[in-house]
Amino acid sequence: MPDDQRMEVSPGVRVARVYDGPGPDDGARVLVDRLWPRGLAKDAAALDDWCKQIAPSTELRIWYGHDPARFDEFVSRYRDELGEPERAAALAELTERSRRGTLTLLTAVKALDVSHAVVLARLISARAA
């Protein structure tokens, strides 16, 4: 895997690893993990915001375990969780933020393509359209 991973989900919504430095086109950088990334100093994170309330529940995160074979079921369960009031409000806020400019969702997860951040990015892109 390359050291610097970025995924452009749509023209205004991206996903990247929080350990990677900011890119020139990142726009607003928002951490979407519940837990602070291990080994990363807060002043080195280059964040605009930390939206931990939108992260999957601890129970869902543990059940999923980043097993690609469980990704489709994870997406379904996570989308259900995103209907809960606090998470729905956070999703609406991130969607609105994406309408104002580029939004980069940050996560500590190594496999971006099967992460909660990519699920969020796709939902935000669809809602912002």
Residue 5 vs residue 124, higher pLDDT: 124
First to last CA, the chain: 31
Question: CB under 8 Å to 101, separation ≥6 — which residues?
Answer: 12, 27, 28
**What is the domain count for the chain?**
1
Cα gap 113→75, rounded to integer Å: 12
Q: What percent of the chain has pLDDT over 70?
A: 96
Domain that holds residue 58: 6-128
Residue 34 lies in a domain: yes
Predicted TM-score (pTM) of the model is 0.91
What pLDDT was estimated at residue 6? 74
Kindly report the average pLDDT of the chain as a whole number. Answer: 92
Residue 1 lies in a domain: no
| Region for residue 39 given its phi and psi (left: phi exceeds 0; alpha: psi -120 to 50; beta: otherwise) | left
* Average pLDDT of the residues in 56-83: 97
pLDDT at 128 > cutoff 90: no
